[in-house]
Amino acid sequence: MSFSVASLFSLSLDTKPHWGSLSPQEMIEHLIFSVKVSSGKIESKIVTPKEKINKAVSFVHSKKPMPKNLVVPFFKNPPPLVFSSIKESVSVLEKELLFFHVFFKKNPAKKTAHPVFGWLSYKEWCLLHEKHFRHHFEQFGLSLLF
């Protein structure tokens, strides 16, 4: 996973998404949350039944994009904003991404739980983050820079 989130700095509070209802800052804070889950800072309960995990993980490994207007039952309403601005949120996202990489460099065999995809390795999280970030960047007309 070697992409840049710098294009997020071009968003303003009034930037409208091409689909979905998240504001730019809600989207960035949503990405922060997902990165914190991946690095184990936030523990997640797996909600997918064990017999369906392999099929779910195959999606992570596929070239299929995340569908637009995806409704996730445990994420119906975004939580209140934590940070004071888009700029601050992007800076925190950059720090959390760095922490994620360092965490797995120090713990290469570690797996952390994703609510839908189960226990994921660093490589699987990288695949999922790229897919997830691309989805939200496209939502706001941004490109995921490599």
What's 113's DSSP letter? E
Joined together, the tokens standing for residue 99 give 């922490």
Q: CB of 36 within 8 A of CB of 96?
A: yes
Tens-place pLDDT, residues 57-90: 999 999 999 999 877 766 667 889 999 999 999 9
Least confident of 13-17, 60-64, 66-70, 96-100: 66-70
The region that residue 108 occupies, defined by phi over 0 for left and psi between -120 and 50 for alpha, beta otherwise, is alpha
Residue 109: helix, strand or coil by DSSP?
Answer: coil
Q: What is the DSSP secondary structure assignment for residue 2, as one 8-state letter?
A: -
> Do you know the residue count of the chain?
146
User: Can you read off the two tokens belonging to residue 54?
Assistant: 């392999």
pLDDT-derived band at 3, boundaries 50, 70, 90: confident
pLDDT (tens digit per residue) in 39-61: 999 999 999 999 999 999 999 99
**Stretch 25-31: mean pLDDT:** 96
In this predicted structure, what is the pLDDT of residue 75? Answer: 67
Predicted local confidence at residue 143, as pLDDT: 85
Q: What domains are there in the chain, each with its CATH number?
A: 6-10+23-71+81-139 (1.20.120)
Report the chain's mean pLDDT, rounded to a whole number: 93
- 118 close to 53: Cβ distance less than 8 angstroms: yes
